Amino acid sequence: MAKNHRKESKKISIQMNRSERILPSSIEVEKAILSILISFPDSVLEIADSLTPEMFYKDANSIIYRAILELVDKSQVINALSIVETLRKNQELEKAGGFAYIAEIADISSSPADLIYYVNLLKEKTILRELISVSSSIIDKSYEPGTQIDTLIDWAEEQIFRIRIKKEKIEKTTEAKFTDVLKKFEEISRSGRYLTGIPSGFIKLDEITMGFQPGELTIVASRPSVGKTSFVLNIAENVALGVQGNGRINPEEAKPILIFSLEMPEEQIVSRLLCTNAKVERDKIIKGRLSQQEWKLLTNSAEKLGKSQIFIDDSGSLNTLEMKAKARRFKSRYGIKLIIVDYLQLVNSHIETNNRYEQITYVSQALKAMAKELNVPVIACSQLARYVERRDDRKPQLSDLKESGSIEQDADLVLMIYRKNMYLTEEEIDPKNMNLAEIIIAKNRNGPLGTVKLNFFKEFTYFSDRFDIYDHEDI
């Protein structure tokens, strides 16, 4: 009993200490910022897009800053008198400390050169208060009866991650943002590089898509055994090694990636990556028929891929909350630049419904939300509906996406793999097109549609550029 009493007393003491502490703030910094804005009105535009009234801890300072923004919005002069008149009209002059307090702020001697420094200090205090607020909410929610652990952990991680991104983000003025984009365009023009996203490693595909864009969802779809897993693993290898197309490797372009494999175990994924990179048939390994040269190729590939940052999660039945939480941690810890999900229909929706359409819709929306939150491209494999097999040519269309129109709606880019030779007899196959595979760009939110023709070597599960044939047409 005495032990329990001591524990209870300790809890009460901690709660009292927490409530008695003064939240992080700097009233002097707040006043210095307002003083600069009053004395040098043009400087308001320098910080107006990144500094909000809520960032001021003292209510009076927040009210004064809101009045300054109102004057800017109306293109009116900014000085102590105009601020007083605005506050009087809004019936907030007393809340803002009255004329005497505003005059006191206006008399502070501050240099506009210090404005950004002061604003950054204010943001740090704001972030600390947000951390305290989120931590308190986590504690409160943990005491609530019936709390779902997974839901709470996901919520807590999302809140902390949001604050972390805010801390890491470099705030820029509107002018600087446009200047940075212009510099990016100049760099592309000067270097001849047309990519604005993560390159797939396939030259013709990247010419149309300009790479996989951060925050966007790409769907790679096909019927079973056509090669969608092989295709996304080829992309994974290319990104992780810095392949720029046609086998050219630039190690400086290598990027860390994360693969969620819901169908294959990690060992099988690694095995396929090794064989693809080495151009060695997996059947030979299984049957123990490797030559000395092939062993050497595999050893070299293992060394090369072992230095890359390819992270694989083969947890079987992941739901959307668990996947997002893991992706968030990998992004924070390793700076993941690309996420691959194989495949969409195997992800659990984390909602209680027997309606398959609703489940797939939820998963599709969750993957798009994950791409936006983490600001990385997400590539998800998807099955196509069975009725594609009923067409004479079996060429897939957007309407063939299985079980939910939401996949098409949420996706920014839809790539469909088509291998006509799968449906032909040996006599019907043109020897020149023996390894032909078509990547149909069926949806491209930011660019044209088209068809890219690649080579596919089934024995190596390997796609490669094909430079002799290239179609670019509306589909």
Q: 215: which residues sit within 8 A by CB, 6+ positions away? A: 371, 372, 375, 376, 377
b/e per residue 262-293 (b: at least 16 CB within 10 A): bebeeeebbebbbbbbbebbbeebeeeeeeee
Of 370, 393, 367, the C-alpha closest to 382 is 367
**Nearest residue to 22 (alpha-carbon basis) of 95, 120, 123, 129:** 129
Residues 34/61, Cβ–Cβ less than 8 Å = yes
- What does the DSSP assignment read for 451-464? EEEEEEEGGGTEEE
**What's the half-sphere exposure (Cβ side, CA atoms, 13 Å) at 453?**
14
Structure tokens of 210?
A: 């300009």
334 touches 256 (CB < 8 A): yes
Instruction: Give me the catalytic one of 85, 92, 263, 358.
Output: 263
Burial call 41-58: b when 16+ CB within 10 Å, e when fewer: bebbebbbebbeeebbbe
In 3D, which of 174, 6, 36, 166 has the Cα closest to residue 109?
36
CA distances from residue 107 to 48, 100, 101 in whole angstroms, order as listed: 22, 11, 10
Q: Which two tokens stand for residue 128?
A: 């600390």
Q: Which amino acid is at 75?
A: S
Cα distances from 411 to residues 252, 445, 472, in angstroms, run 29, 8, 21
**What is the C-alpha to C-alpha distance for residues 246 and 455, in angstroms, rounded to an integer?**
12
Question: How many angstroms separate the CA atoms of 114 and 250, rounded?
Answer: 42
Nearest 5°: phi and psi at 465? -60, 150
Helix or strand run (H / E) with residue 219 = strand 217-222
* Residue carrying the six token digits 């030259």: 203
Establish whether 263 is a catalytic residue: yes
229, 271 Cβ separation under 8 angstroms? no
Catalytic machinery residues: 263
